[in-house]
């Protein structure tokens, strides 16, 4: 502890050097606290660089084998690329991360799909996508799988439960819409159910993309992009034949002839409306829940910790494994994925400045003190298992939180005998103060830390976000977004109206053509392809007093692995993302 250090002057000098070396940058996204410059120590080691080379190699090899592309100069990559990465600076390595994906897209001849099967066929030989396979085998389950996507897909916070017996005034779903939907969804029309009954019983859930209202759109190589601040209504059916069913979608915040309500009875217009809702949710997920509330939230904690906690501090030993590679991958995101002209600028319909604004807004509105998963689920009405019996994120993430809370508390009590020791730790108090400072992390709602329990909750949030939460929002990306019609990153026709032809051609005209399909599928493949050092896989701690709490934590993880495996058997699509063995300890991708 700092107050017990035999060389306090040297300790302070080293921290001063660290603060000079690790400065904040608030330029991109504007107002968000990030590390200004990568240091040599931020460059990943050979094991990570080999994973990059392998994922680039898989992309290049798959691209060469595709008949739908125009192969010019792509060549299959091999793991020897790791030598090239090793010779680069940290910045050069970060900037070259997406080379294979961007090269593949650039070398793809643009052409439209002839059918939806083309999108499923494209990823054959790369990594199987259960959603695409299930839709082919059981097309009658399409709407049920669309509902499941809000529960077992990339954004566990896409829905909120309607709890005041009424719908929003600007989303005028009526009993006739509800009856039409049930007639299309259920062979028997679900007799006895009604909109008023579902509202009074709390069985309706809302997806609302209001954050996109008024957002401008751009073009890609002369082709206009479109988006919508769509709203979707979902039902937990009386017979529980499905976890959740979609009832109605409105492709805008204000009802009008340009934004009519569609139900599952509306054929291809309904399917196009589904794509617009998925597009909106995906835009919000990527900017807010993924980049903002995992990558850059942990970035602020990591910069503040490394500027204020000495290498010998016990919190450093606990937190460093959960910060590993985070600055590196965040640099690649800021200077490639969300850069002007970068991947998301090409894929998404809104200007990249609007995407970065969504990131900043998510962080500025996030309450650190209420950021645990139980509080967030409760606020959305998703915590009650009676109201929403099937919710894989809730079922798997909450045991992780409880296990980590126990582990962190056990660890901290080795070093902090009482609450007074918390207040006496000057480095800790400096770290906490910097998290919310305007010249620091700029985080909102950082609680005062004057007790062991308060510190336990804060540190658990950091570790949970860097591991479990990031796994939950990152690794489902390829299984859902790799099949482009599932969650398109951009659409190229306006939202449907009653005048839109009820034909597959209407949907195909809106979906991305081959070059952007390549860019989207390969991007999310690479985002889902790298895993290292699972949660709980700490290197041996120097302090033997930590051994028993760590063993207990690993035992809980083993039990959770078995419990999640048992739950998998009853899920309509796999949800393996929070298996402890598959959860990286830090944000590495």
Residue reference for tokens 């609680």: 447
CA atoms of 527 and 329, how far apart (whole Å): 10
What residues contact residue 85 under an 8 Å CB cut-off, 6+ apart?
Answer: 49, 52, 53, 93, 96
Q: What is the 3-state secondary structure (H, E, C) of 384-409?
A: CCCCCCCCHHHHHHHHHHHHHHHHHH
Q: Model confidence over 329-382: pLDDT tens digits?
A: 999 999 889 999 999 999 999 999 999 999 999 999 999 999 999 999 999 999
Q: Is 249 helix (H, G, I), strand (E, B) or coil?
A: strand
Alpha helices in 113-254 (DSSP H): 117-122, 130-137, 142-152, 175-185, 195-200
Q: Which two tokens stand for residue 416?
A: 């902090």
pLDDT digits (tens, 9 = 90+) for 208-217: 999 999 999 9
Per-residue pLDDT band for 317 (boundaries 50, 70, 90) equals very high
Place of tokens 């979609």: 246
Q: How far apart are CA 355 and CA 333, in angstroms?
A: 12
The confidence band for 462, taking pLDDT boundaries of 50, 70 and 90, is very high
Average pLDDT over residues 429-454: 98
Work out the number of other CB atoms within 10 angstroms of the CB of residue 125.
Answer: 12
pLDDT at residue number 74:
41
Average pLDDT over all residues of the chain: 93
The residues pairing with 207 across neighbouring beta strands, listed in sequence order, are 159, 232
SS3 assignment for 318-349? HHHHHCCCHHHHHHHHHHHHCCCCCHHHHHCC
- Give percent above pLDDT 90 in the chain: 82
Using CA atoms, how far residue 394 sits from 96, 348, 383, 390, 413, in Å, is 37, 29, 7, 9, 28
Phi-psi region of 225 (alpha: psi -120 to 50; beta: other; left: phi over 0): beta
- DSSP annotation of 225: P
Quick: pLDDT tens for 116-173. 999 999 998 899 999 999 999 999 999 999 999 999 999 999 999 998 888 999 999 9
* 419 or 72, which is more confident: 419
Scan for tokens 């449907």, then name that residue. Answer: 496
Predicted TM-score (pTM) of the model is 0.95
Which domains can be identified in the chain, with CATH numbers?
8-104+290-478+526-582 (1.20.245.10), 139-289 (3.10.450.60)
Residue with tokens 């569609």: 262
Give the pLDDT confidence of 503-549 residue by residue, as tens digits. 999 999 999 999 999 999 999 999 998 899 999 999 999 999 999 99
Nearest to 217 by CA among 231, 228, 230: 228
d(CA 47, CA 224): 42
Q: Are 153 and 392 in contact (CB under 8 A)?
A: no
Q: Spell 453-473 as b/e; 16+ CB within 10 A means b.
A: ebbbbbbbbbbbbbbbbbbbb
């Amino acid at each position: 502890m700092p107050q017990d250090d035999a060389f306090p002057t040297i300790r302070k000098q080293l921290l001063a050097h660290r603060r000079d070396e690790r400065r904040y940058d608030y330029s991109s996204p504007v107002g968000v606290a990030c590390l200004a410059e990568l240091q040599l120590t931020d460059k990943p080691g050979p094991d990570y660089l080999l994973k990059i080379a392998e994922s680039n190699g898989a992309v290049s090899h798959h691209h060469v084998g595709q008949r739908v592309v125009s192969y010019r100069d792509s060549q299959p990559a091999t793991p020897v690329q790791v030598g090239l990465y090793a010779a680069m600076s940290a910045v050069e390595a970060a900037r070259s991360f997406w080379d294979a994906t961007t090269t593949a897209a650039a070398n793809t001849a643009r052409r439209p799909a002839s059918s939806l099967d083309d999108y499923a066929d494209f990823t054959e030989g790369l990594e199987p996508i259960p959603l695409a396979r299930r839709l082919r085998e059981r097309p009658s389950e399409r709407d049920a799988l669309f509902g499941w996507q809000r529960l077992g897909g990339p954004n566990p916070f896409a829905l909120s439960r309607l709890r005041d017996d009424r719908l929003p005034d600007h989303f005028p779903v009526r009993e006739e819409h509800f009856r039409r939907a049930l007639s299309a969804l259920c062979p028997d029309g679900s007799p006895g159910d009604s909109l008023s009954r579902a509202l009074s019983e709390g069985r309706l859930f809302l997806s609302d993309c209001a954050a996109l209202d008024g957002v401008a759109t751009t073009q890609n190589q002369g082709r206009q992009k479109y988006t919508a601040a769509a709203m979707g209504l979902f039902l937990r059916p009386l017979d529980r034949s499905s976890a959740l069913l979609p009832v109605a979608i409105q492709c805008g915040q204000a009802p009008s002839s340009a934004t009519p309500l569609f139900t599952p009875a509306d054929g291809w217009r309904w399917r196009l409306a589904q794509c617009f809702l998925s597009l909106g949710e995906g835009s919000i997920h990527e900017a807010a829940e993924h980049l903002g509330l995992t990558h850059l939230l942990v970035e602020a904690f990591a910069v503040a910790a490394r500027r204020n906690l000495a290498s010998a501090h016990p919190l450093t030993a606990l937190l460093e494994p959960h910060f590993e590679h985070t600055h590196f991958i965040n640099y690649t995101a800021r200077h490639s994925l969300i850069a002007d002209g970068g991947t998301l600028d090409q894929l998404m319909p809104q200007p990249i400045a609007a995407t970065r604004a969504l990131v900043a807004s998510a962080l500025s509105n996030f309450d650190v003190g209420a950021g645990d998963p139980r509080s967030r689920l409760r606020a959305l009405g998703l915590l009650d298992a009676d109201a929403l019996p099937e919710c894989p994120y809730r079922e798997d993430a909450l045991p992780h939180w409880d296990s980590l809370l126990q582990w962190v508390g056990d660890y901290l009590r080795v070093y902090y005998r009482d609450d007074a020791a918390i207040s006496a730790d000057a480095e800790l108090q400096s770290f906490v103060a910097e998290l919310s400072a305007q010249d620091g992390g700029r985080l909102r709602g950082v609680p005062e830390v004057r007790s062991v329990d308060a510190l336990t909750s804060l540190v658990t949030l950091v570790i949970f976000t860097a591991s479990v939460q990031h796994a939950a929002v990152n690794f489902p990306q390829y299984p859902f977004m790799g099949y482009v019609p599932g969650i398109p990153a951009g659409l190229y026709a306006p939202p449907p109206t009653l005048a839109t032809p009820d034909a597959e051609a209407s949907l195909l005209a809106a979906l991305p053509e081959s070059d952007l399909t390549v860019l989207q599928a390969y991007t999310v493949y690479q985002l889902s392809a790298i895993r290292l050092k699972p949660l709980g896989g700490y290197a041996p701690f120097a302090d033997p007093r930590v051994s028993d709490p760590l063993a207990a934590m690993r035992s809980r993880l083993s039990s959770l692995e078995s419990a999640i495996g048992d739950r998998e058997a009853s899920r309509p699509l796999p949800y393996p993302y929070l298996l402890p063995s598959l959860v990286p300890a830090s944000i590495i991708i």
